[in-house]
Structure 1
Amino acid sequence: MLPIVEVQCPYCGERIDLRVETCAEEQRYTEDCPVCCKPMYVVVDIDDDGTPIVTVESEAGG
């Protein structure tokens, strides 16, 4: 099962849950917020113990 990470939408501020892959060292992709439907730029890094570190930004980068 994929781990769930809670993040905050950079547009509407709602907290949402993302399921993230932990098999890749780094991932970058765009996913729409399920609340406001705006595109979020998602970056997933995996630390040394396999824990996902997730950051989200507006698609414009801010």
Structure 2
Amino acid sequence: MYEHFFQCPYCWEEISVLLDPSVSQQTYIEDCENCCNPMEFEVSFQNNELISFEVHNIEQ
């Protein structure tokens, strides 16, 4: 597992997420551990190294 730190697009708190480098392309939704708002993650790995990480708020 790979721990990555980023800022929540809602509350701007720095939080971390655990990523699985065995899956090269990932898109999923997870709630912020601080403010509980849903975020969409788009993650890419190549040779077990993180090459792209994006997180977006989900307008509700």
- Tell whether the structures are fold-level matches, with TM greater than 0.5: yes
Which structure 2 residues correspond to residues 28-43 of structure 1 after superposition, within 5 A? 28-43=27-42
Aligned residues of 1:42 and 1:55 also touching (Cα < 8 A): yes
What's the counterpart of residue 19 of structure 2? 20
Q: Provide the aligned length of Structure 1 versus Structure 2.
A: 58
2:54 aligned partner: 55
Gaps of 5+ in 2: none
Q: Which runs of 4+ in 1 moved over 2 A?
A: none
State the shift of 1:25 in Å.
Answer: 1.3
> Retained in 2: the 8 A contact 1:7–1:54?
no
CA distance in 2, matches of 1:18, 1:42: 10
Report the identity percentage: 31
The alpha-carbon deviation at position 15 of structure 1 amounts to: 0.7
Give the CA deviation at 1:17: 0.6
**Structure with more strand by fraction:** 2
RMSD: 1.1
Q: Distance in 2 between matches of 1:27 and 1:59?
A: 17
Question: What is the SS of the residue equivalent to 2:27?
Answer: strand
